[in-house]
Amino acid sequence: MEGLLKLKRRHFNALACSVCALATAGSLGHALAQAASSNLPVVLVVGDSLSAEYGLKRGTGWVALMGETLAEEKVKARMVNASISGDTTSGGRSRIAALLKQHKPKWVVIELGGNDALRGLPLNMTRDNLATMARLSREAGAQVLLLGMEMPPNYGAKYAQEFRDLYTTVAKAEKTVLVPFFLKGVADTKDPTALFQADRIHPNERAQATMRDNVWPELRKLITRR
């Protein structure tokens, strides 16, 4: 009996050592994978609640989906989301220098301006802030993708047109790539409320893939540009 107990004890110890070795190997593999990923060039997203997963389950927003797309397409790049809910172009302008220094991105996606309009801030200020962010990003060696926004008709046709045009103006002046309307296929459908949360301001989880698809063609061109 004593011999049997010793045998079982040796078997248990061997099994425990095997489990520990597998766990260590798994942790090491995960750490190596993370290290490899962290060495990939960065796509930095500087945006507001539309990119910060406001009201969404973590990991379901368009930026996270874009990260999955990069992996699926075997694109050597990784997403860094520096978006803040409620941010304006002034906030983005105040943060951009530090973000560029910290992340050293190769590409910068600017998704800001909607909150400026909702707060009635001067259009020339929004335009200047976006232009400054784009210029600083280019001077830091990054290529820039600007995501355009549009205002609902109740803001008035003249204001809506001027707001839409400011993105085109900045893109041309700062030589950035432009997605004319980031929420195309989301906010301009026959029943746009179906793709928005209860506040009718923030897109829901169903809309995120469309938002990702609006950005991906232009981002892919930038990433693959030699």
Res 19 pLDDT > 70: no
38 band by pLDDT with thresholds 50, 70 and 90: confident
Q: Which CATH architecture has domain 40-224?
A: 3-Layer(aba) Sandwich (3.40)
What's the whole-number mean pLDDT along residues 6-27? 48
Which residues in 157-184 are b (16+ Cβ under 10 Å) and which e? eeebeebeebbeebbeebebbbbbbbbb
User: pLDDT tens, 59-81?
Assistant: 999 999 999 999 999 999 999 99
Mean pLDDT value across residues 17-40: 51
> Would you kindly state where each structural domain of the chain is located, as residue ranges?
1-39, 40-224
Give the DSSP per-residue string, the chain.
-HHHHHHHHHHHHHHHHHHHHHHHHHHHHHHHHHHHHHTSPEEEEEE-TTTTTTTS-TT-SHHHHHHHHHHHTT-S-EEEE---TT--HHHHHHHHHHHHHHH--SEEEEE--HHHHHTT--HHHHHHHHHHHHHHHHHTT-EEEEE-----GGG-HHHHHHHHHHHHHHHHHHT-EEES-TTTTTTSSSSGGGGB-TTSSSB-GGGHHHHHHHHHHHHHHHHH--
Task: Name the burial class of residue 219, with classes exposed (0-12), middle (13-18) and buried (19+) by CB atoms within 10 angstroms of its CB.
Answer: buried
φ, ψ for residue 61 (rounded to 5)?
-75, 170
Q: How does pLDDT run across 163-211, given as a tens digit for each residue?
A: 999 999 999 999 999 999 999 999 999 897 899 999 999 999 999 999 9
Residues designated as active site: 49, 199, 202
- pLDDT, tens digit, 9 for 90 and up, residues 76-129: 999 999 999 999 999 999 999 999 999 999 999 999 999 999 999 999 999 999
At 7, the pLDDT band (50, 70, 90 cuts) reads very low
Mean pLDDT of 23-27: 49
pLDDT band for position 225 (cuts 50, 70, 90)? confident
Over 80: is that where the pLDDT of 20 sits? no
Pick the closest to residue 202 from 177, 219, 182, 180 (CA basis). 182
State residue 22's pLDDT score. 40
- The pLDDT of residue 10 is 55
Q: What integer pLDDT is reported at residue 9 of this predicted model? A: 53
